[in-house]
């Protein structure tokens, strides 16, 4: 099936140029062999002549531009290499002021520490209670549940514990919960006495920032103390 439109023309300029020149020559031979009026190909001849003038000029300009770009980059790399040691000297010079740095256009060092923000996310808690009188807690941050570790700017999670009788509802957060520990490693072991066997342990956790800010409470996690 013959192809319509211009799909028979190669798209890359280099391929198109070679194809167009061959096309021009072959069409002229075809017209001559068929006894057709070759003067009708005058617009084609003018167009191919213009292409053969402009396309090489374009290629040469591209090559020149690439050479200029490479030269520019080399010059910048060399200039940056000279700027860095001078900047290091100025930054370390005892008489350099922040006003000097601003005028020169180099970094003004921030000597104050940015305070850690109060945590806004909650720990996600899992309790392994398969062993007698022992619970192992594992927790992650809800913003990155698949990655162990505490959120940036925190020292870890406060772990609070309340014990209730079997079948009793979970106590509300408050005085019923006793502080257990602060864990920075994403895990904690809680040991119980034999008198706690059969009771339900309720855990509530919250992140604590390096400045003492407390984040929101986790969902309460419950697990039976195995006898």
User: DSSP states of 150-179 as a string?
Assistant: PPTTEEEEEEEEEEE-TTPPPPPSSTT-EE
Q: Looking at the whole model, is its pTM more than 0.85?
A: no
Residue 108 pLDDT: 82
Mean pLDDT by 10 residues, the chain (227 residues): 65 94 95 94 96 95 93 93 92 89 84 79 94 94 88 92 86 89 90 93 94 92 92
Residue 111 pLDDT: 66
Strand spans (E) along the chain: 123-131, 134-141, 154-164, 178-183, 187-191, 200-209, 221-224
**Strand, coil or helix: 10:** coil
């Amino acid at each position: 099936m013959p192809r319509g439109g211009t799909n028979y023309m190669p798209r890359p300029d280099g391929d198109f140029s070679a194809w167009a020149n061959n096309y021009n020559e072959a069409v002229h031979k075809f017209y001559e062999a068929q006894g057709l009026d070759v003067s009708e190909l005058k617009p084609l001849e003018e167009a191919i002549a213009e292409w053969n003038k402009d396309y090489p000029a374009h290629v040469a300009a591209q090559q020149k531009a690439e050479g200029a770009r490479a030269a520019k980059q080399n010059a910048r790399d060399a200039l940056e290499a000279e700027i860095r040691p001078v900047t290091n000297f100025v930054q370390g010079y005892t008489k350099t002021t922040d006003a000097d740095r601003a005028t020169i256009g180099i970094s003004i060092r921030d000597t104050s520490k940015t305070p850690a923000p109060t945590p806004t996310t909650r720990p996600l808690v899992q309790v392994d209670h398969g062993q007698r009188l022992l619970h192992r807690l594992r927790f992650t941050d809800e913003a990155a549940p698949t990655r162990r570790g505490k959120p940036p700017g925190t020292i870890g999670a406060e772990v609070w514990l309340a014990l209730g009788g079997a079948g009793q509802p979970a106590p509300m957060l408050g005085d019923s919960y006793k502080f257990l520990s602060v864990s920075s490693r994403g895990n904690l072991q809680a040991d119980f006495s034999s008198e706690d066997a059969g009771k339900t342990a309720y855990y509530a956790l919250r992140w604590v920032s390096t400045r003492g800010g407390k984040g929101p409470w986790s969902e309460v996690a419950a697990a039976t103390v195995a006898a």
